[in-house]
Amino acid sequence: MSFDGQVAVVTGGAQGIGRAVAEVLAGGGARLALWDLDGDLAAATAEEIGGGTLALQVDVADWSSVSDARDATLDMVDRIDIVVNSAGIAGSNAPVEDYSVEEFARIVTINLMGTFHVNKAVVPTMRRHGYGRIVNIASVAGKDGNPNASAYSASKAGVIGFTKSLGKELAGEDIAVNCVTPAAARTRIFDQMSQEHIDFMLSKIPRGRFLELNEAASMIAWLCSRENSFTTAGVFDLSGGRATY
């Protein structure tokens, strides 16, 4: 797929699925801007990707941080054609009755409010240029729910609903807004989970293995492409057969 002449923002692009997608988009000719809370890691990743990749330290949970990053990106590259919103956290595992109120709010703020902030920030510039592709990273947990992960499951269900809403708002324009619902991939997000929870997630995947990063990147890259000219407000499964709908 060709992304020549396009500018792509990838949040959480310093590592994991975000980095894998960034590498595919850059390989197709896109100019990349990595927005990540870990500014040093983002800078190192940008240097490794090359091609003039930009790195900005951004806290997606903070609207001012996101809007400042958008303005800084536009100052350097003038437009934003593609956004892959991959920044997020798993948070801790506990039954609802024992779940920390503060931890629940933190996870929802990063995963759901962060998605809102990033999408809100980039839609106006996409509308000005009459083109855009947005892919939000949800989770199969947002469809099925994972026990002892109520905050994560609820936040990702919110990302699905938000994506459907925004996709319908922009359906009359050449701006596609979709999300993917991955099963677990073995990234640093596993560091936030108990081994018991990791084993549970694996047991629910009919393919009997975790998602590979290149598999996620391939689907997401297509959703970012001009070839995806019809589908919007869609939810694309990456669960290895786990999802029931």
DSSP 8-state assignment for residue 211: B
Q: Is 16 left (phi over 0), alpha (psi -120 to 50) or beta?
A: left
CB neighbour list of residue 60: distance below 8 Å, 6 or more residues apart: 11, 35, 37, 66, 85, 87, 110, 114, 115, 117, 118
Bridge partners of 84?
10, 135
Which of 99, 131, 152, 245 is labelled catalytic? 152
Measuring CA to CA, how many Å separate 146 from each of 34, 96, 143, 177? 30, 12, 9, 25
CB 21 within 8 A of CB 27: no
Tokens of 84: 């892959």
At 168, give phi and psi (nearest 5°).
-70, -35
Residue type, 39: G
- Determine whether 152 is an active site residue: yes
Distance CA 85, CA 36 (A): 10
118 exposed, middle or buried (CB, 10 Å; 0-12, 13-18, 19+)?
Answer: buried
The edge-to-edge listing of strands for the beta sheet with 82-85 is 54-57, 31-36, 7-11, 82-85, 132-137, 175-182, 235-238
CB 156 within 8 A of CB 139: yes
| Residues tagged active-site | 152
